[in-house]
Structure 1
Amino acid sequence: MTVLKAFLQFLLKLLVFSLVVAAFHYLIATNISMTFPIKEVYKMHVFVVALTMLAYAMLLVVARLDDTKVGFTFAGLVIIKMIVSFAYLYPLLEPPVYDVKEVVFNFFAIYLAFLFFEVREAYILIQKSPFVVE
C-alpha cells in the first residue's frame, strides 16, 4: 500500500467522522441556549480537522520510513497539536466577547472527539504496519 492510498482512505473516514461530529454538535447547539455563534464552532471544526489531517500525514510518512517510531511520533504530535490549539484558542479568550467557559467547552469537545478518532486510527496503523515489505 502506498502512503497516498493510506492517506486517501484516512481522509474518507475523517470526512464521515467530521460530518457526524458536526451534525451532532449542531443538534446540541440548537437545543440549548448557546451564545457562542455556530459559525465560530464550525471554524473550530475546520481547524481541528486540518490539524488531524496534517498529523496523520506525518504519521504515515514516519510509518513508511520506520514503523517502530509511529507511537513516539504520535505522542509528540499530540503535544504539538495541543500547543497549536492553545495558540488558536487564545484570541477567542483574550477579549471577553464570548463566555469563556462556552468557548473552551465547545473547542475541547471537538478536540477530544477528534483525538479519540486519531488514537484509534494511529492504533490501527501501528497494528497493521501497512508499509512493511513481507
Structure 2
Amino acid sequence: MKQLQGQIPLKEQERVPIEAALYHITITESGRLECTPRWLLSMSEVAQLLGISRSFLWELAKEEGFPSFHIHNRQYVRIESLLAWIRTKEHPESEQSTPVPKTQKKKRSQKTETKSRHNI
C-alpha cells in the first residue's frame, strides 16, 4: 500500500485523534487557528476515541457507574467523567480503598460467655 504525504493510513482513519475529540479546532477567515475545549462527547465519538464498536459501548453504558446521561433522545458523556471512569477501570483496587465499617457486634464463643457468667 502506497502512502502519500498528508494521507492517513486506513487503519488510523477509523480512530479519532484524542486532540480532535477533546478540542473543536477551527481555522478562522484570517487564517488563525482556534482551539475550543469540548466537554461533551456523543456515544459514537466515545466509541471512536476508545477504539471499540458502538454496540460494545452500549453494553458498557448499561453497567452501573458508566458516566453517560440523556438529553432528549440522545446519550452523551462528559469528557472529565469518561477520563475518571477510565482511571477507575485501570486501577480497580482504588474503588475499594475506603474501608467499609463493620456494623455487626463481635460474636463471642460459648466458652467465653460461660466463663464470664461464672465470674459474676
TM-score between both structures, scaled by the size of structure 2? 0.21
**Comparing both chains, which one has the higher relative contact order based on Cα–Cα distances under 8 Å and sequence gaps of 6 or more?**
1
Between structures 1 and 2, the one with greater helix share = 1
TM-score between both structures, scaled by the size of structure 1? 0.19
Between structures 1 and 2, the one with greater strand share = 2
